[in-house]
A and B are shown apart, each in its own frame.
Chain A
Amino acid sequence: MTDIAITKNGIIVVALRGELGNHEANRIRTQISSEIFSGKVHGVIWDLTHLGFMDSSGIGLILGRMRDLAPQNGETLILNPSATMEKIFQFSGLGTVVRHCNVEKAIGEIGGVLHEQ
């Protein structure tokens, strides 16, 4: 349901699938938090391209990880939410970190390099 990948320079890419409600958020929260606390993470990209449903539990999950990232001044981007999800992000003040682009471009925006040679 959730794919978590980390780039060499410390950007976590969380690809969510299926539905994200309270129950699902509770199951993946600690998994993502432990990745953030495990090393030099300086950004999280939430790829919602294949997420079919999200309610306010998603807001709680993302805001919570933004707090985890705060000590590292980590950045957050939210990619390709549906129209309904985008409204929810706007109500919650997260509209400014929503992007409609691919993961590579988002990694570039927060200062990463996707393929270090």
Chain B
Amino acid sequence: MNNEMTLSFVAIEENEALARMTMTCFITPLDPTIEELSEFKTIVSEAVTNAIIHGYDCDGIRKVTIHGKIEDSKVTMTVSDEGNGIFDVDQAMEPMFTTKPLLERSGMGFTIMESFADNLSVESAIGQGTVVRFEKTFSPVTEKSRMR
């Protein structure tokens, strides 16, 4: 199955759940396992939360954009913001590194995203924003689901 979508929303915390729910619905036709689905949902949640909190400081004005594309059993997604940007991407991707310890951010977001996604990449420029791109391939169609 092939499909493509774009979702855009202002940077408020409430939209984290919106993004998780929408992207979960988007990939449901691929018939993912429960674990694949929850790993995918976690990647979405981490990337979107980063854009809202770190990209835009929850300003409620500027917009986070998610683009999703399904080609057969592979999903390609980008989460983009035009906000603060990341000073040092390599440092940001180190486990436990966070610029917001007072908000109890664990610094594990990128570690989790890298573990659960295929081919995660991050492009960022100070004052221009950040684009997180990843792929995730879901398990091949089973006999049972092929018969539906």
Contact = CB atoms under 8 A, between A and B. Distances in A.
A19 B20 contact: yes
B35 A23 contact: no
Interface of A: 19, 21-23, 25-26, 29, 53-57, 59-61, 63-64, 82-84, 87-88, 91-92
A26 B41 contact: no
Contacts of A26: 13
A91 B109 CA distance: 11
A63 B17 contact: no
A56 B41 contact: no
Main secondary structure of the interface of B (DSSP, over half): helix
Interface in B83-101: 95
Interface string B37-56: 01101100110010011000
A60 B20 contact: no
B38 A59 contact: no
Contacts of B3: none
11 contacts: A21-B45, A22-B13, A23-B13, A23-B16, A26-B13, A53-B45, A55-B45, A84-B42, A87-B116, A88-B108, A91-B95
B98 to A, nearest CB: 9
A63 B111 CA distance: 17
List the 7 closest A-B pairs by CB distance, nearest first: A60-B104, A23-B13, A59-B106, A60-B106, A84-B38, A55-B45, A56-B108
Contacts of A87: 115-116
Given A21-B17, A23-B14, A82 B49 contact: no
Contacts of B17: 19, 21, 23
B112 A29 contact: no
B106 A29 contact: no
